[in-house]
Structure 1
Amino acid sequence: MTDRSFTTDGDWDALYVDGDWVEASSDETIAVENPATREQIAEVPAATEADVDRAYEAAAEAQASWSDRSADERAAVIEDAIGLLDDHRDDILELLAVESGSANAKAFAEWQTAQGMCHHATGLAGKMDTETSDSMIPGKENEVQRVPEGVVGVISPWNFPFNLSMRAVAPALATGNAVVLKPASSTPITGGLLIARLFEEAGLPEGVLNVVTGHGSDVGDRMASHPELDVMAFTGSTEVGKQVAASAAENLALPAMELGGNNPFVVTEDADVDAAVDSAVFGSFLHQGQICISINRHLVHESLYDEYVEKLAERAEGLPIGDPRERENVVGPVIDEGQRDQILEYVERTVEQGATLEAGGDHEDLYVEPTVLSDATNDMAAACNEHFGPVAPVIPFSDEDEAVELGNDTEHGLAAAIHTGDLDRGHDLAESIEAGMVHINDQPVNEEPAIPFGGMKQSGMGRYDGDEILNELTQTKWISTQTEKRDYPF
C-alpha cells in the first residue's frame, strides 16, 4: 500500500498486521459496495485462518512491551489519534455515508461518539494503578495491581462500524492490551482498516493493533477460539454471540458481549404526545432502524393511542429518503438485500396477523420506507422479533402493570424508554422494566463514553464504556510482602 489517505479513493486492499500493510494468504477479495448506489467503492482481502494466526501472534509478541509503556505514553498515542479524527472528520463522514448508508445526522453522531470514546480511554490509562490495603496478618503488606488481560479480540458489526469498533479498541490500547480486530465484511473500512490507519499515523508501535478483513463464516471461529485470545469483545446478534462466547470460553477467554435488543418505548396517559412522537421518530428511524438500541415496540396508553398513531404515521411519511450524502435526506438505504428482505417479511407477516399498515411498507431497491403498524400485538412478527429496520409497531395498553408486562415479555433486555408527565412515575416504571438502560422522556438510542453500556437477560454479558470497561479489559493481581517474620501454628 502506498496511499495512506483517509478518503474513499484511498488504498484499502491489504490487511494490517504487525505494523505493516500486507497481502492476505489467499487471493480472494471482498467487494465493498455503496448501498445507496450499488457502486463498488473498494476491494479488501478475504483473510484466512492463517492470517488470523499471524495477527494474534503479532499481538501476543507486542503486548508486553506496550504494557510496559507508561500510562502517559499510551494516552499520548490515543490523543494523537483524536487529533487525526478531528483533521479527517469530513473524510470519515463521507466514508460512513458511502460504506454503511449513514445519513449525515447518524454519521456525525457516530464520529462524535467515537471521538468521545477515545477521550475517555485516555483517562482509563491512568487508572491502571496499584492500591495498598491493610492485612489481618501482622507484618504483611498487601498491594493490588490492575494489569491488562493481554490480547483482546474484537468482532464488530456493520451498523455503527466506526464507533462500535473504537469503543473496544481505544480502551483496550489505553489499558495496555494488544488488539486483533475483525470488522464486519459489509463495512471493513470504517469498521477496521480506517482505525488501523488512524493509529498507524498516531505512532502506535508495531503489532499492538492488527486488522484482518474477512467473512465471519471463514475466520470467525478462529478469531473467537485462538489460544492467544484473552478477551473476546463482540457486538452483534444474540444467536451468533452465544456461539462466539462459547468458543472463547473453551480457552477461558473472557466474553464481553453486547447482543440483540427488543426495546420498548412506553407512552403513559399523561405524556406529552407531540414530545413522545418527536422522540419516537428519532428512536425508530435513525439509520433506518438498524440499531441494537432503537425502538422495536411502541407501547402506548389506549387513551392516547389513536392520536399517537396518526401523528407518528404523518411524520414517518414526511421523512426525506435518498442518498445519505445529500444532507437533506434523513433515511438512507439498508445495508443489503438480505436485511431488506427480512424487514419486509416481518412487515408482511405482521399485516397478515391482523395489524394495519398506517404508513410505508414498500421499498425501492434498498430504500425501505419508514413504516408504522397499528393494531399490533406483542406476538406479531415485527414486535416479537428484533426487526432491525425502519418499522414501528404500535401496541396499546390499559394500565402501567400491563405496560410493564408487555415491555418485559421478551428474551432481551438491552434498552427501553418512557414518556410520561410524572417523573416519579417514570422512575418507578424504569425500575420495573428489565433492561440495562432506561431513558425517561427520551428515546433509547443513547450512548455516552462515561456511562456503562450493556444489557440484561439475553442481551449480553458485561459492560462497555464508563469505568466498567476496566472489568472486561483488565484483571487484578495481588502481591503481598511479609516484612516481619511470621509465626505459623505448626
Structure 2
Amino acid sequence: IVGIAPWNAPVILATRSIALPLACGNTVILKSSELCPATHALIGKVLTDAGLGDGVVNVISNAPEDAGEVVEQLIAHPAVKRINFTGSTKVGRIIASTAGKYLKPALLELGGKAPVIVYDDADLEQAVAAVAFGAYFNQGQICMSTERVLVQDTIADAFIEKLAAKIKTIKTGTPEDANNTLGYLESAHSAERIKAMVEDAVAKGAVLPVPLETEGALMKPVLVVGVTPEMRLYAEESFGPVTTVKTFTTDEEAIAIANDSDYGLASAVFSQNINRALKTAKQIESGICHVNGPTVHDEAQMPFGGVKQSGYGRFGGKASISEFTDLRWVTIQTEPRQYPL
C-alpha cells in the first residue's frame, strides 16, 4: 500500500496513511511530503526500530519537481495494490486519474470548505468557541477547518460581536512564546495568498470586524462578514486562519448555502433542538456532520472522509478494513455435483 502524506499535520496524517494498512496485514510505502521529509522519515525509522522489520515500512522522499514521476512509478509498480492520499483536490485528481489508468483502488481525502450552521436557538457561547477552534486551530491549515459560518439573521449581530471579541484574545506569534496559540503558516507565500483572498472580498463589499494583520508567515485570525458568490473566499479553500460569516433567514436557505460548494468533507450544526439539527445534518452534503461540536474533530474508530470534490473512501475503524484488504469468496464443495454438460 502506498500512503501519500501532507505537511500540515505531518505526524498524525503520515501515521494514519500507513498504520491502518499495516493493521490489515500489508507492507507499506510512505511517500513523504517535500515540505517535511525529515519528520516522515523519522516515522519510518521509529516503526522499524520498534520491531516491524526491514521492508515492512518504507519511506520515499523526492524533490518537488520529481513528484509526478515518482508517484506515477509507485502507482504503476505491480507490487503496489492500493493508494491513499491526503492533500489538495488538485493533486487528488491527478492521483485518481493515474490510479484509474492502472486500475488501482485509491482512497482520497482532499480539500474542504466546512460550513457551520448556527440557528437562532443555539448556545451562542458554545457556538462561538467551536467556530474559533474550528477556524483557527493550527492556523486554519486543516482540511476540516471552519471556513464558512452561516448564522440566522436574528442572532447574527450578537454572534459576530462575540466571535470578534474571542478573536481578539487569540495570540499569534513564534512558538517559542508559550502565550501564543497561533504560530506560523506554511510559508510567507501562503500568507500573501490568503491576504489577497481577503482583500478581494473587502474590495467587493465584505467587512472585517477585526483588522487584517500579517507579518511574514504570521497571520492573525481573520473574520470576514458579508461574503457573496462573487468573492474568491466564497468558494475557494483558504487553508489559513480565515472564516467567513453569511446570514440566512430559514432553515432551507441555510442548507442551500451550506451545499453551495464543490467540497463536502466536514460540517456542523448548532441548535438546542436536536431534531432540528439532525434534520439539517441529513441534508448537508458532507461526509461528516457534527451537532453542537466543531468541524475539526476525528476519532480513530470512526469513518473519516468526504463527498463531492473532497474525495472518496474512508479512513478509520471498520471502514479501513474494506479500504486496505480485498474481499474474496472461497468455497468448499462437500458433495459430488451434477453438471448440465
- TM-score, normalised with respect to structure 1: 0.67
Question: Which residue among 29, 38, 45 is the counterpart of 1:197?
Answer: 45
Contact 2:62 2:70 in 1 (8 A): no
Please state how far the C-alpha of 1:290 moved relative to its aligned partner.
Answer: 0.5
Greater percentage in strand: 1
For residues 352 and 381 of structure 1, what CA distance do their matches in structure 2 show?
A: 11
Contact 1:372 1:393 in 2 (8 A): yes
Question: Which residue among 6, 14, 17 is the counterpart of 1:168?
Answer: 17
Question: Which residue among 101, 115, 118 is the counterpart of 1:264?
Answer: 115
1:473 and 2:324 matched? yes
For residues 16 and 176 of structure 2, what CA distance do their matches in structure 1 show?
A: 25
For residues 330 and 378 of structure 1, what CA distance do their matches in structure 2 show?
A: 32
Note the alpha carbon deviations across 1:220-257, whole angstroms, 9 max, x for none: 34324332321111001111101011112211111110
For residues 306 and 165 of structure 1, what CA distance do their matches in structure 2 show?
A: 41
1:206 and 2:54 matched? yes
For residues 323 and 362 of structure 1, what CA distance do their matches in structure 2 show?
A: 15
Question: Which residue among 53, 65, 77 is the counterpart of 1:217?
Answer: 65
Note the alpha carbon deviations across 1:244-301, whole angstroms, 9 max, x for none: 1111221111111001111101100111212111111101110110100010101001
Q: How does 1:48-59 map to 2 (within 5 A)?
A: none
Question: Which residue among 179, 182, 196 is the counterpart of 2:28?
Answer: 179
For residues 57 and 87 of structure 2, what CA distance do their matches in structure 1 show?
A: 21
Match of 1:396 in 2: 247
For residues 431 and 249 of structure 1, what CA distance do their matches in structure 2 show?
A: 31
For residues 438 and 232 of structure 1, what CA distance do their matches in structure 2 show?
A: 26
Note the alpha carbon deviations across 1:147-196, whole angstroms, 9 max, x for none: xxxxx111111111111111121111121211111121112233x11211
Match of 1:137 in 2: none
Q: 5+ unaligned residues in a row in structure 2: which ranges?
A: none
Distance 1:379 1:430, change over 3 A: farther
Please state how far the C-alpha of 1:305 moved relative to its aligned partner.
Answer: 0.8
For residues 346 and 171 of structure 1, what CA distance do their matches in structure 2 show?
A: 37
1:330 and 2:181 matched? yes
For residues 371 and 422 of structure 1, what CA distance do their matches in structure 2 show?
A: 30
Match of 2:136 in 1: 285
Classify the secondary structure of the residue corresponding to 2:138.
helix
For residues 396 and 226 of structure 1, what CA distance do their matches in structure 2 show?
A: 48
Question: Which residue among 76, 94, 98 is the counterpart of 1:226?
Answer: 76
1:254 and 2:102 matched? no
Contact 1:266 1:403 in 2 (8 A): yes
Contact 1:184 1:215 in 2 (8 A): no
Classify the secondary structure of the residue corresponding to 1:245.
helix
Classify the secondary structure of the residue corresponding to 2:52.
coil
Classify the secondary structure of the residue corresponding to 1:405.
helix
Contact 1:323 1:333 in 2 (8 A): yes
Please state how far the C-alpha of 1:356 moved relative to its aligned partner.
Answer: 0.6
- Residue-pair matches, total: 338
Distance 1:247 1:217, change over 3 A: farther
Please state how far the C-alpha of 1:200 moved relative to its aligned partner.
Answer: 1.6
Classify the secondary structure of the residue corresponding to 1:194.
helix
Match of 1:18 in 2: none
Question: Which residue among 407, 414, 419 is the counterpart of 2:265?
Answer: 414
Q: Quick one: which amino acid aligns to residue 20 of structure 2?
A: P
Q: Quick one: which amino acid aligns to residue 345 of structure 1?
A: A
Distance 1:338 1:365, change over 3 A: closer
Q: 5+ unaligned residues in a row in structure 1: which ranges?
A: 1-151
For residues 347 and 263 of structure 1, what CA distance do their matches in structure 2 show?
A: 17
Match of 1:157 in 2: 6
Note the alpha carbon deviations across 1:186-224, whole angstroms, 9 max, x for none: 12233x112112112111121111111223431334324
Q: How does 1:23-38 map to 2 (within 5 A)?
A: none
Contact 1:227 1:251 in 2 (8 A): no
Q: How does 1:94-113 map to 2 (within 5 A)?
A: none
Classify the secondary structure of the residue corresponding to 2:328.
strand
Please state how far the C-alpha of 1:379 moved relative to its aligned partner.
Answer: 4.3
Tell which structure's C-alpha radius of gyration is larger: 1
For residues 15 and 68 of structure 2, what CA distance do their matches in structure 1 show?
A: 19
Q: How does 1:325-474 map to 2 (within 5 A)?
A: 325-474=176-325
Contact 2:263 2:309 in 1 (8 A): yes
Q: Quick one: which amino acid aligns to residue 333 of structure 2?
A: Q
For residues 67 and 4 of structure 2, what CA distance do their matches in structure 1 show?
A: 11
Contact 2:82 2:324 in 1 (8 A): yes
For residues 414 and 194 of structure 1, what CA distance do their matches in structure 2 show?
A: 29
For residues 241 and 215 of structure 1, what CA distance do their matches in structure 2 show?
A: 19
For residues 177 and 43 of structure 2, what CA distance do their matches in structure 1 show?
A: 25
Contact 2:127 2:270 in 1 (8 A): yes
For residues 222 and 164 of structure 1, what CA distance do their matches in structure 2 show?
A: 20
For residues 47 and 185 of structure 2, what CA distance do their matches in structure 1 show?
A: 29
Please state how far the C-alpha of 1:478 moved relative to its aligned partner.
Answer: 2.1
Q: Quick one: which amino acid aligns to residue 213 of structure 2?
A: D
Q: CA RMSD in A?
A: 1.3
Please state how far the C-alpha of 1:378 moved relative to its aligned partner.
Answer: 4.4
Contact 1:155 1:235 in 2 (8 A): yes
For residues 413 and 378 of structure 1, what CA distance do their matches in structure 2 show?
A: 17
Match of 2:162 in 1: 311
Q: Quick one: which amino acid aligns to residue 179 of structure 1?
A: V
